[in-house]
Structure 1
Amino acid sequence: MRHTDQILIFDADDTLWENNVVFEQVVQDFLGWLDHPTMNRTELREILDDIERANSAAHGYGSKVFLRSLHDCLEKLRERPATVAERQQILELAKALIDYEVELIPGVTETLAELGARHRLLLLTKGDPEEQQRKIDASGLDHHFRSVHIVAEKHAGTYLRLAEEQALHPERAWMIGNSPKSDINPARRAGMNAVFIPNANTWALEHDEVDPADERVLTLARFPELLDHF
């Protein structure tokens, strides 16, 4: 049975289009370039994850903060400031982020078009406003949404404010995304429903446990499966 006349709130990165796979490739290239004499990639990645976690909390998200984390990681491991040549090399390694073209998840365009005829669609994404807007513009999807919201962080308060601003009834609102930490769990804490669509490339820092007994969380394997429920 389909839910009718609902408010569907969509995440963007790794829900509507691939995103973290590009960052992950840069990370792997960076770790290989480091060629640390005593640490393996797993150990190096743990250090980088800790640095990214701290920088995200202090400075937000996006490619600029990511590059900062790469520089900080290098300097921590080398125990000295990065040289001009090393900074240039990191920029070269991260070139894929600069040249990145939005790659939509299969079925997104058609699914949004059909859902928009039956429901009210909103977009809620976190990150650097300029960078996120650039991706939204490049995606060509913005016309599907009644409103677009770019926020610094997604927590329960973010969803409560959105509900108040948009006069949403939480029991009729569904947050749709790939991140348990940012999409599913905080939306549920705000009293909304959620649709969890896992992405194999989801950033490690967005992982969290989703309550398997929560009947107000719908888990789908593919984006077009939304049409079976809404």
Structure 2
Amino acid sequence: MRLDEQVLVFDADDTLWENNIRFERAIEAFLDEVAPPAPSRAAARATLDGIEAANAARHGYGSQVFLRSLGECHEQLHGRAATAAERDRLAALAASITSAEVELIPGVAQTLAALARRHELLLLTKGDLAEQQAKIDASGLADHFKAVHIVPEKDVAAYRRLIDTHTLPPERTWMIGNSPKSDVLPARAAGLNAVYIPHQHTWALEAAELDPADGGVLRLATFAELGEHF
């Protein structure tokens, strides 16, 4: 049975289009080159994950923050500053995540078009303003949304601002995304419902435990299944 007249708020990266796989490919190439000085490849990745978490909290997201993290990890593992050639290589790896091409997740285009005819759609994504806007523009999906919001962080305060800005009815509003940490838990804390659609390449730092007994969270296997519920 479909719900009528809902407000559907969509995450973007790894919900509407592929994103983190680009970071993973860049990280794998990075580890190929810097892992030998570390005790193991896993140890090198753990070092990078810790640096990324700290930099995300201090500086946000995007290719320039990713470049900073790669540089700091490289210096920490090698115990020295990167050479000019190494800095160029790190910059190339960071640049590889900002391809102008956007690969939509299967079922997104058709499902969004159908949902837009029945519901009010909003887009809420976090990250670097210019980089996120470029992906939105390239996706061809922008016209489906009543409004697009690009924020530095998707925390409880961001969801409360969204509610206030659009005078959203929390009982009829759903946050839809792949991240327990950014899409589900803070939305629920702000009083919204949530739809969790896991993605195999979700960033490890977006992981968090969800309450299996929380009736305000709908769990789906694919994006296309949204059409069966909304």
Common topology (TM > 0.5): yes
Instruction: Compute the TM-score of the two structures, normalised by the length of structure 2.
Output: 0.97
Aligned to 2:30, what secondary structure does the other structure show? Answer: helix
Alignment of 1:149 onto 2:157? no
Deviation of 1:14 (Å) = 0.2
Deviation of 1:94 (Å) = 3.7
Higher mean alpha-carbon deviation, 82-91 vs 104-113, is at: 82-91
Compared with structure 1, are the counterparts of its residues 37 and 129 closer, same or farther at alpha carbon in structure 2 (3 Å cutoff)? closer
* Structure 2 unmatched runs, 5+: none
Compared with structure 1, are the counterparts of its residues 21 and 95 closer, same or farther at alpha carbon in structure 2 (3 Å cutoff)? same
Count of residue correspondences: 230
Deviation of 1:90 (Å) = 1.5
Aligned to 2:186, what secondary structure does the other structure show? Answer: helix
Aligned to 1:18, what secondary structure does the other structure show? Answer: coil
- Counterparts of 1:200 and 1:85 in 2: how far apart (Å)? 34
* 2:9 equivalent in structure 1: 9
* 1:65 equivalent in structure 2: 65
Compared with structure 1, are the counterparts of its residues 98 and 117 closer, same or farther at alpha carbon in structure 2 (3 Å cutoff)? closer
Whether the 8 Å CA contact 2:197–2:222 is kept in 1: the answer is yes
Letter of the 1:123 counterpart: L
* 2:102 equivalent in structure 1: 102
- Counterparts of 1:51 and 1:87 in 2: how far apart (Å)? 17
- Counterparts of 1:222 and 1:157 in 2: how far apart (Å)? 28
Aligned to 1:176, what secondary structure does the other structure show? Answer: strand
Deviation of 1:38 (Å) = 4.6
- Counterparts of 2:98 and 2:4 in 1: how far apart (Å)? 41
Letter of the 2:202 counterpart: T
Identity %: 60
- Counterparts of 2:35 and 2:169 in 1: how far apart (Å)? 53
* 2:117 equivalent in structure 1: 117
* 1:169 equivalent in structure 2: 169
Aligned to 1:105, what secondary structure does the other structure show? Answer: coil
* Match runs of 1:62-101 below 5 Å: 62-101=62-101
Deviation of 1:79 (Å) = 1.5
Compute the RMSD of aligned alpha carbons.
1.0
Deviations along 1:146-174, one digit per CA (max 9) or x if unpaired, are 00000000111111110011010111100
- Counterparts of 1:50 and 1:99 in 2: how far apart (Å)? 26
* Structure 1 unmatched runs, 5+: none
Instruction: Compute the TM-score of the two structures, normalised by the length of structure 1.
Output: 0.97
